[in-house]
Structure 1
Amino acid sequence: MDDLTEQTTDWWKGGIIYQIYPRSFQDTTGDGVGDLAGIAQRLPYVASLGVDAVWISPFFTSPMKDFGYDVSDYRGIDPLFGSMDDFDWLIERAHELGLKVMIDLVMSHTSDQHEWFKESRSSRDNPKSDWYVWADPKPDGTAPNNWLSIFGGSAWQWDARREQYFLHNFLSSQPDLNFHNPAVQDALLDMAKFWLDRGVDGFRLDTINFYFHDAQLRDNPPLAPELRKADTAPAVNPYNHQSHRFSKSQPENLAFLERFRETIAPWGAVVVGEIGDSERGLELLEEYTGVPGRVQMSYVFDFLSGDDLPADRIVQVFERMLEVAPNSWACWAMSNHDVVRHISRWNLTDQAAKAYCTVLMCLRGSVCLYQGEELGLPEADIAFEDLCDPYGIEFWPEFKGRDGCRTPMVWDMGVNGGFSTSKPWLPVPHTHLQRTAVAQEADAQSVLHHYRWAIGLRRKHSALRHGDMTEMASEGPILSFRRSDAEQSLLVRANLSDDEAGGLRPWQVQIIEG
C-alpha cells in the first residue's frame, strides 16, 4: 500500500487524534466561550503538531445542562458555538491542512428538551411513545429496579404526564433512548449520514456500551468492595457498588454496531468508541473492535485513571489485553475532558511528562491527545463558587468534577491567555499562564517541542504505527518492549522513575534499531 492510499483508507490505524473541547479552545465572539470559528482559526497550530485528526466534542443545540452532552437537536449547531457556515469553514480548513475531522456523537441519550422526548412523554400512545425507556413503578410506587445513575442517585425519574419512570444513566435531564426500537436506530443512522454528507471523516461515539439496556429490567447484582474500581465513576459514588450487568454493555449492542459501521462504510468513515466499564472494559474492546465490521477502535480507562502509571502496570494492562482482547485495536489516552489531567494525576515533572509522551507514541494502537496536554498543563484548582460541572457540584468536595481539566487553552500572555477578551466561562489558572503555547514555541526544550518530536518519531517509523509489539516486560521502573514490522525492528526501553536505573538516566527513553 502506497503512502497516499494508506493516508486515505487506513490513516486511523496507529494514527494520532487531537481532542478539542470547543468551549475552551478559542473564543472569537468575546462571550467567554470558545466557538467553531475559533477552532478553525487555531487549526494551523494543531496541524503543526503532526497529528492525523481532530475530535471535536459536542457543539450541537443543547440547553447545556451537561455542556453539550445533552443534545436537543442532532442536526443543529448551538448558537453559542456559531453557525453551520462556521462548521463548513472548519471542515474545509481542516482538510486543507491535511487533518481529518471526527465529531462526537451522543447517541445513548438526548436532552429532555429534544422534540423526540417532548413527544414521547406527552402520552403512552403517541408515535414516539416507545422511543425512550419507560417503565411502570413497582406496586409500592418505587422505581422499576435498582439501577443507579453515574451522576448520583437512582437512574429512574418519575414523569407525572405518563405516570411512569424514564431511564437516565446520567442527569435526569438526559433521558435514555430505547435502542430496542428499530425506529430509534434508523433516526440515529440518518443523523450520522447527515454529518458525513457535510464532510466529517468519522465519529467518536460517546458511551458506546450504554446504548442497550436489559429489556427485562432485571436488578443489577451488588459488587464486592474489593472489586470496586473508581474508573468510570469516582470512589465516593455508590454507582461503584453495583455490577452493571443489566443496565449497560448488552449483547444486542453488537448488531447495532455492525449496522452503524455498514451505514457509514460508503463514506470510508472511522469510529473511535468510548467504553465505560470498570469490570469488562478490555473484554468489550475485543467484542467491539476485534471482529471485522464493527468499530475500528475504542478507548478504555486503563490509562485514564489511577494515581500513577508505573512500568509494571503498563505491562499488566497489555498482558490482560493479550489474554482477553488479542484481536482488538485500542486508542490509548492519558487525559481527556472527563478525568483529572495526567500531569496532576501522576504528579509529573516536565521531564516525566516527556517520557510518558514518548512511551505513548511507541505503544501498539492509536492515540488520543487532549488539548493542553502538549503544553504539560496540570489540573486547574477550581473554587466551589466557580464550578459549572453538575457532577462536581453533586460530589464536592471529595470529587471536584471535570471543570479542572476543561479550563481554557493558554495561547499567549494576552488577556485570559489569549483565549477570550472577556471573562471566560471557567477561570484561567495563573499556573497555566506560565505554560502558554507562544512561550513554549520559543523554548526548544519545552514539553510542546517534545510532543512534536515524539509524534514525528511515530510517523517516521512504520513499526510504531502498525507493527507488532512483543517482549514487553518490566524490571523495577524499567519498561521494555519491541515494535517490529516487515521493514524494521525497534527496541524501546524507558526508565519511569526519578532515579538512574538499568543503565538509563531518570525518565530516559531509549529506542534502539535492530
Structure 2
Amino acid sequence: MNMKASIKGAIQARATNPDWWRGAVIYQVYPRSYQDSSGDGVGDLAGIAQRLDHIASLGVDGVWISPFFKSPMKDFGYDVSDYRDVDPMFGSLEDFDALIARAHELGLKVLIDLVLSHTSDQHPWFVESRTNRANPKADWYVWAEAKPDGTPPNNWLSIFGGSAWEWDGARMQYYLHNFLTSQPDLNFHCPEVQEELLRVAEFWLERGVDGFRLDTINFYVHDKQLRDNPALDPARRNSNIAPAVNPYNWQDHLYSKNQPENLAFLEKLRGVMKPYGAAAVGEVGDAQRGLEILGEYTKGEDRMQMCYAFELLSQNIPSAAYIAETMHHLEDVAAEGWACWAFSNHDVPRHISRWHLSDEAARAYVVLMMCLRGSACLYQGEELGLPEAEVAFEDLQDPYGIQFWPEFKGRDGCRTPMVWDAGVHGGFSQGNEARPWLPVSPEHLPKSVAEQEGDDASMLAHYRRAVALRKAHEALATGAQKIEAEDDLLVIHRTLEGREVLALFHLGEGEVVHEMGEGWSALQEAGALGAVALGEGRVTLGPWGFALMGR
C-alpha cells in the first residue's frame, strides 16, 4: 500500500470512531532517549519505529512523540527552528512517514508534540522579526518598549528563572520569553501568526498524524495591555509548575497567560482537525487554576478533546483524600470537560522516586489510574518501574537543572535512555562505542525489558494487565464516576449502561475492611492483578491492596 492510501485509510478509520481518544491510554516517547538506531548516542525516529512492537504489546491506544522538529536543541526540541521538517539527528521526513505507517499497521494512533507558543530564536521568522520594526514579520513576536528607566515593560517572570523579557539592541526593544531567552514567544494577537500555525497543524495532519499533544496550551495569548501580574499569597504557592527555588511561584499569572482570547484560536485549531478525525491533548501549565482551565479548553465540541493539568504530577504522593478532592473539584469546574491523567513525564522526576513508592504501592497506583474517569498517559520506562536516575552535575544537559543546581537538579534524571537489555548502554545504542547523550543508569539495567519479559510477576507484566483491565471494561474507560475517600481507602464507583464496577484502593499501611453490600463479584482480571476479596459482602485489604468487583 502506498503512503497516500495508508493515510486515507487511517483517516477513514478515525472517522468510524471519532471518540477513540475518550478513555484512551497513550504512551509517551521522548525521542532522544528511546532507541538509537544510528549509533551516534541519540535516539531517533527509526529507533522508535523499531520498538513500536513493544509499545503495542502494552495494549495502549496510541503513542505521543515529543518534539523531533529542526531545532538548535537549547531546550531539546521545544525550541523549534522549522515546524515542517525533522531535525537530522532524529532522521528525515521519510523516517517519520515510515514510523506512521508501522504504527498504523499495529493499530496505534500517533500524536505529535506541537510547540506553538514560542519558537527558537534561530527560526527564520524571529531572525526577520528582530531586524527592524518595519519588516513583514515585525509583529510576529511579542515586542515592547522599555520603561523610561530602561527596565523591562512589566514584572512577568520566566519559568526558567529571572525576567520573562530580553533586551534586543537591534530593535531597541524587549521581547517576551516565558521560557529560555532563546525561546521568544509568538504574538497570537497577530492574525498572520495564527493562520501560519494552523497551516503547520494541517501539514502534519496531511502526513497522517492522528492528533497532537499541545505544549503549554494556556501560554499562547498574552495580555495585550502588558499589565503586571499581582503577587501570589504565599499560602497558595506550590511547585507543580516550577521548582520551589524559582520565584515564578510568587506571582499570580493573571496576565502573562490564561487569556480568554485563547479560546478563539483553539476553536480554529479544532476546525482544522475535524476533517481528519484528529484529537488533541493540551498541557495546562497553571498551579492555581489548572482544572478550571482544563474545563474551559475541553468544553463542548469546538475546543480541544482533552487536557491534562498537573494535579497527579504533584510533588507529594496523592493520598486517597487528595485524589477524591481533585476529582470532586474537577466535577465542579469541568463537568463537560475531559482530563488526561499522568503520573510521570519528561518534565518531572519519575513518580516511583518522587513519591518514594514501594513496589506494591507502584502497582496499586497504575491500576488506580486505569480506574479513573479520563484518559491516561504512560511515560516511557514507567512500565518497567524505573526510578529517577542520578545524573552527576558534569553530565547534566538540561539548562533548567544547571541554572538551579543543586536545589533543583533539572529534568535529566527522567530523560535518561530507555533500557532494553542489561548489556552495554542498556541496548539503547546499537554501537557499543557510542556514548549516549545522557548516561544509562546502572540502577535501571536489572529492570530492562529483556530482564522482565516473560516474567509474569514483573512490573512490565503488571502494566500490561492493568491496561487490559481498562480495555475489558468499558465502564472504566468512559463510564460515569463516583469517588469517595474513607481515611486511606479510596472508593471508585464506575457505571455504564447498567454495568457497575467497584474499585477499592487502600493507599497506606495496615489493614482496612470495607462493607460493600451484596451482589458484587470479583472481576476476572482481579486475581491476576493482585486483588483479594474475602467474605460475603466484605473486602479486607492489606497495605497498598486493591480490589476490583463488578455487577
Q: Which among 445, 457, 461 is matched to residue 449 of structure 1?
A: 461
Give the match's secondary structure for 2:444: helix
Q: Which among 467, 488, 504 is matched to residue 477 of structure 1?
A: 488
**Contact 1:463/1:487 (8 A) holds in 2:** no
**Contact 1:61/1:77 (8 A) holds in 2:** yes
**Contact 1:105/1:204 (8 A) holds in 2:** yes
**Contact 1:34/1:81 (8 A) holds in 2:** yes
**Contact 2:15/2:276 (8 A) holds in 1:** no
Which residue does the alignment assign to 2:437? 425
Question: Structure 2: how far apart are the matches of 1:111 and 1:9?
Answer: 34
Which residue does the alignment assign to 2:193? 184
Which residue does the alignment assign to 2:408? 399
Deviations 1:281-310 (A, max 9, x none): 011011000232100000000000122111
Match runs of 1:336-485 below 5 Å: 336-420=345-429, 421=431, 422-470=434-482, 472-485=483-496
Which residue does the alignment assign to 2:26? 17
Give the match's secondary structure for 2:181: coil
Which residue does the alignment assign to 2:279? 270
Deviations 1:360-393 (A, max 9, x none): 0000000000000000000011111111000011
Equivalenced residues, count: 510
Match runs of 1:114-513 below 5 Å: 114-420=123-429, 421=431, 422-470=434-482, 472-502=483-513, 503-513=540-550
Question: Structure 1: how far apart are the matches of 2:512 and 2:82?
Answer: 55
The aligned amino acid for 1:507 is W
Give the match's secondary structure for 2:336: coil
Question: Structure 2: how far apart are the matches of 1:213 and 1:291?
Answer: 24
Question: Structure 1: how far apart are the matches of 2:300 and 2:134?
Answer: 39
**Contact 1:311/1:496 (8 A) holds in 2:** yes
Give the match's secondary structure for 1:12: coil
Q: CA RMSD in A?
A: 1.0
Moved more, 400-409 or 434-443: 434-443
The aligned amino acid for 1:314 is I
1:40 has 2:52 as partner: no
Q: State the TM-score, normalized to the length of structure 1.
A: 0.98
> Structure 1 residue 325: deviation in Å?
1.5
Deviations 1:418-454 (A, max 9, x none): 0013111001111100100111113211111010001
**Contact 2:348/2:411 (8 A) holds in 1:** yes
Deviations 1:308-356 (A, max 9, x none): 1111110110111112111110000000000010000111122111100
Question: Structure 2: how far apart are the matches of 1:138 and 1:214?
Answer: 17
The aligned amino acid for 2:547 is Q
**Contact 1:159/1:165 (8 A) holds in 2:** yes
Structure 1: give runs of 5+ residues left out of the alignment.
none
Deviations 1:177-199 (A, max 9, x none): 00000000000000100001001
The aligned amino acid for 1:14 is G
Question: Structure 2: how far apart are the matches of 1:135 and 1:231?
Answer: 30
Question: Structure 1: how far apart are the matches of 2:286 and 2:422?
Answer: 41
The aligned amino acid for 1:156 is W
Question: Structure 1: how far apart are the matches of 2:248 and 2:142?
Answer: 20
**Contact 2:15/2:277 (8 A) holds in 1:** no
Structure 2: give runs of 5+ residues left out of the alignment.
1-12, 514-539
Which residue does the alignment assign to 2:520? none
Q: State the TM-score, normalized to the length of structure 2.
A: 0.92
Deviations 1:47-89 (A, max 9, x none): 0000000000000000000000000000010000001111000
**Contact 2:36/2:428 (8 A) holds in 1:** yes
Q: How many percent identity over aligned positions? A: 64
Deviations 1:65-124 (A, max 9, x none): 000000000001000000111100000000000000000000000000000000000110
Question: Structure 2: how far apart are the matches of 1:247 and 1:287?
Answer: 18
The aligned amino acid for 2:264 is A
**Contact 2:14/2:278 (8 A) holds in 1:** no
> Structure 1 residue 5: deviation in Å?
7.6
Question: Structure 1: how far apart are the matches of 2:389 and 2:426?
Answer: 14
The aligned amino acid for 2:479 is G
Deviations 1:170-220 (A, max 9, x none): 000000000000000000000100001001000000000000000000000
Question: Structure 2: how far apart are the matches of 1:322 and 1:330?
Answer: 11
Deviations 1:239-278 (A, max 9, x none): 0010000000000000110011011111111000000001
The aligned amino acid for 1:482 is H
> Structure 1 residue 7: deviation in Å?
7.1
**Contact 1:104/1:203 (8 A) holds in 2:** yes
Question: Structure 2: how far apart are the matches of 1:95 and 1:358?
Answer: 27
Moved more, 414-423 or 30-39: 414-423
Question: Structure 1: how far apart are the matches of 2:16 and 2:501?
Answer: 23
The aligned amino acid for 2:452 is Q
**Contact 2:45/2:91 (8 A) holds in 1:** yes
**Contact 2:324/2:484 (8 A) holds in 1:** yes
Q: Which runs of 4+ in 1 moved over 4 A?
A: 4-7
Question: Structure 2: how far apart are the matches of 1:307 and 1:293?
Answer: 35
> Structure 1 residue 487: deviation in Å?
4.4
The aligned amino acid for 2:550 is E
